[in-house]
């Protein structure tokens, strides 16, 4: 089988089992998979190194075929279809979820069906373990009438079973097969541990049907019935994929190392739980009626808060709640040469004040629409809010994790205000004991500080950081959160002046950069998808509904063929950054939810 060049980021679908996620490109090749967990080492990483990353390819010999991809309706089960003049082939890819009460091993299931004619199918499973550093000898362990099994000599115990008329062949570090399928023929491949691949055909059929039923039952919980129902529900399905069934944590993205600037060094590892990103995800899921995921994350987050005696939370955590490792470089070529590739994240040691506002807003909404807080959780929240009261004046690294000197950022100050405001509201609504006098006074002090030190009369708008002057001309896409968290009215003249500045300086026809300042790193980032959807929501809240809708529809057109988004979009429309990205999809949900309701009501309206 001839090796191919790296597939564009956008040309992928995502499948997963709430433990890990695989990316399947439009050629039917799985070129990214961490095993057995999302933050484990890769077994397939051709997306990051075409030569030694590893892949799992299924390729029909249909050179003239048109290839399309789709999800089975209301599921995270992906179908790739080859439609040629001589034959048509369907490939269904899934990673069965199982039940919360079952100890189900990670499985990758690939089912190939010939729907018309006859075609030769070439298969190559070529894992490269430990981030592409090693391939282990493959061997065929059993051949029976309808099942051929093989394994890879590695400590993770990875094995492959081929169900159908055909046989696996060991080829060095790889397992291969070449088969001919006629109309109506189906074969299946299962990648799992050696014990699990002993599934017979009947049991495998039951696994697939059970997974279809699982996703359809989950997706039908959605309460959204608006104009963009399929798009919103696909975004919700993606957020669900990033949720850990075992821990309740929510990953920021499925991948590491995909560049935010072409060929550059901005190649970060996003396979962790950011307090901010996950809390925002809770907002989105609660709006759609998915309470279980919100409650699960809040339990996870409260465990972290209770373990901090002084109320100081980390910026991010591993999915199991442990520490995120410091960055280390990998010997991978990088996507289209973007290097170095690192795993771990040095931003784990930064101070980012905004995480507390995100967490308290999620806590407030979770208590209102999900599950009331337990006593110990409220005690932990008190410590967190007291910590905010003690530290809100301190400079930090900000939401964008700038790797330079700390500053007093408006967005950080804003989210400190949110933290104290939501704590006050929660205590009052639930009659919870709290130092309300101190918290209320601090809330007022933060508000006064924002108006005194971040509004610039000369510029006629809010500024990014304390001390910014007209010469700095720094605008920050994070300021779009100001009306969304209800610090300022969406039609307040001072906010509208700031919104105009963001539109003038950061927007490229509705696609919004997060900033344009020198952040100390080389390379030009793309527009930030979450900021673009925040901008749409701000326009809608300001009453500019026609403009908001037009820009929203244009943004949706920049999603890939399955409605998925990466972190950023380059000027030529290609995807940049890790993929799929939670931040992008939760912002899409928020914008769609508000815009649809405003259009139905004939004008802007706040969501309580």
The count of residues in the chain is 608
**Interstrand relation of 511-512 and 55-60 (parallel, antiparallel or unpaired):** unpaired
How far apart are alpha carbons 416 and 443 in whole angstroms?
8
Whether residue 192 contacts residue 107, with contact meaning beta carbons closer than 8 Å, is answered with yes
Tell me which fold the domain 12-199 belongs to: Beta-galactosidase; Chain A, domain 5 (2.70.98)
Tell me: the pLDDT tens digits for 404-433? Answer: 789 999 999 999 999 999 999 999 999 999
140-170: pLDDT as tens digits = 988 877 889 999 988 888 999 999 988 999 9
Mean of pLDDT values over 162-184: 94
Whether the bond into 340 is cis, omega within 30 of 0 = yes
Backbone angles phi, psi at 67, to 5 degrees: -110, 130
171 Ramachandran zone, left/alpha/beta (phi>0; psi -120 to 50): beta
Alpha-carbon dihedral of residues 132, 138, 144, 145, nearest 10 degrees? 60
Confidence label for 196 from pLDDT (cuts 50, 70 and 90): confident
Distance of alpha carbon 542 from alpha carbon 499, whole angstroms: 10
| Integer Cα distance of 36 and 43 in angstroms | 9
If pLDDT is split at 50, 70 and 90, which confidence band does 579 have? very high
What pLDDT, on a 0 to 100 scale, did the predictor assign at position 5? 61
320 phi and psi angles, rounded to 5 deg:
-85, 5
CB 533 within 8 A of CB 586: no
Q: Transcribe 435-494 into DSSP letters.
A: -HHHHHHHHHHHHHHHHHHSEETTTTEE-SBTT--TTT----GGGGHHHHTTSS-TT-HH
Structure tokens at 48: 């990051």
CATH number of 233-428+435-601: 1.50.10.10
Sheet holding 575-576, edge to edge: 527-528, 568-569, 575-576
pTM of the model: 0.95
Q: What are phi and psi of 425, to 5 degrees?
A: -60, -45
Q: What is the pLDDT of residues 288-334, one digit of tens each?
A: 999 999 999 999 999 999 998 788 999 999 999 999 999 999 999 99
C-beta of residue 343 within 8 angstroms of C-beta of residue 330: yes
* Mean pLDDT taken over the chain: 93
- Distance between CA 71 and CA 107 in Å, rounded? 18
Phi, psi of 544 (to 5 degrees): -90, 65
Residue 606: per-residue pLDDT? 45
Q: Is the dihedral of CA 370, 376, 382, 384 positive or negative?
A: negative
Most confident of the following: 5-14, 186-195, 557-566: 557-566
547-576 in b/e burial notation, b at 16+ Cβ within 10 A? ebbebbeebbebbbebbbbbbbbbeeebbb
Domain ranges of the chain: 12-199, 233-428+435-601
Percent of the chain with pLDDT over 90: 83
């Amino acid at each position: 089988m001839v090796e191919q060049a790296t597939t564009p980021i956008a040309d992928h679908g995502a499948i997963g089992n709430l433990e890990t996620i695989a990316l399947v490109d439009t050629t039917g090749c799985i070129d990214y998979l961490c095993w057995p967990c999302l933050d484990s080492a890769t077994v397939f990483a051709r997306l990051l190194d075409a030569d030694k990353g590893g892949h799992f390819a299924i390729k029909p010999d249909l050179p003239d075929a048109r290839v399309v991809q789709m999800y089975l309706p209301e599921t995270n089960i992906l179908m790739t279809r080859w439609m040629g003049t001589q034959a048509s082939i369907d490939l269904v890819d899934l990673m069965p979820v199982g039940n919360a009460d079952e100890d189900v091993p990670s499985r990758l299931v690939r089912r190939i069906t010939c729907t018309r004619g006859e075609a030769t199918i070439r298969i190559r499973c070529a894992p490269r373990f430990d981030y592409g550093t090693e391939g282990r000898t493959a061997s065929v362990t059993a051949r029976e009438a309808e099942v051929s099994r093989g394994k890879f000599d590695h400590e993770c115990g990875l094995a492959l079973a081929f169900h159908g008329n055909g046989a696996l062949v060991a080829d060095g570090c790889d397992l291969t097969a070449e088969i001919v399928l006629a109309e109506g023929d189906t074969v299946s491949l299962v990648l799992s541990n050696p014990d699990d691949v002993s599934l017979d055909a009947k049991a495998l059929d039951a696994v697939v049907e059970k997974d279809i039923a699982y996703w359809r039952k989950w997706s039908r919980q959605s309460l959204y019935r608006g104009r963009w129902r399929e798009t919103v529900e696909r975004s919700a399905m993606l957020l669900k994929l990033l949720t850990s069934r075992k821990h309740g944590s929510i990953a920021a993205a499925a991948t590491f190392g995909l560049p935010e600037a072409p060929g550059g060094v901005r190649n970060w590892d996003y396979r962790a739980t950011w307090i901010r990103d996950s809390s925002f995800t809770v907002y989105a899921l609660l709006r759609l009626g998915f309470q279980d995921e919100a409650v699960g994350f809040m339990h996870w987050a409260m465990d972290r808060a209770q373990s901090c005696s002084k109320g100081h939370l980390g910026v991010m955590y591993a999915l199991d709640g442990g520490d995120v490792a410091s960055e280390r470089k990998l010997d991978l070529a990088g996507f289209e040469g973007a290097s170095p590739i690192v795993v771990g994240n040095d931003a784990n040691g930064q101070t980012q004040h905004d995480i507390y506002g995100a967490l308290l807003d999620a806590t407030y909404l979770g208590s209102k629409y999900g599950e009331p807080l337990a006593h110990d959780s409220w005690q932990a929240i008190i410590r967190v809010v007291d910590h905010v009261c003690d530290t809100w004046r301190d400079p930090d690294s900000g939401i964008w994790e700038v790797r330079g000197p700390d500053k007093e950022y408006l967005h950080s100050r804003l989210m400190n205000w949110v933290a104290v405001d939501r704590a006050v509201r929660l205590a009052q609504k639930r009659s919870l004991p709290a130092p309300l006098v101190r918290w209320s006074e601090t809330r007022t002090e933060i508000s006064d500080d924002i108006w005194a030190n971040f509004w610039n009369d000369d510029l006629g708008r809010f500024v990014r950081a304390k001390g910014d002057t007209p010469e700095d001309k720094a605008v920050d896409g994070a300021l779009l959160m100001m009306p969304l968290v209800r610090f300022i009215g969406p039609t307040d003249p001072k906010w509208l002046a700031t919104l105009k500045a963001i539109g003038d300086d950061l927007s490229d026809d509705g696609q919004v950069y997060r900033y344009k300042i020198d952040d100390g790193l080389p390379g030009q980032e793309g527009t930030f998808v979450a900021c673009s959807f925040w901008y749409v929501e701000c326009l809608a809240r300001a009453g500019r509904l026609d403009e908001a809708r037009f820009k929203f529809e244009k943004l949706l057109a920049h999603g890939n063929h399955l409605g998925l988004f990466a972190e950023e979009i380059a000027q030529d429309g290609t995807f940049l950054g890790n993929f799929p990205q939670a931040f992008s999809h939760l912002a899409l949900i928020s914008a769609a939810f508000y815009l649809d309701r405003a259009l139905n009501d004939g004008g802007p309206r706040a969501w309580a």
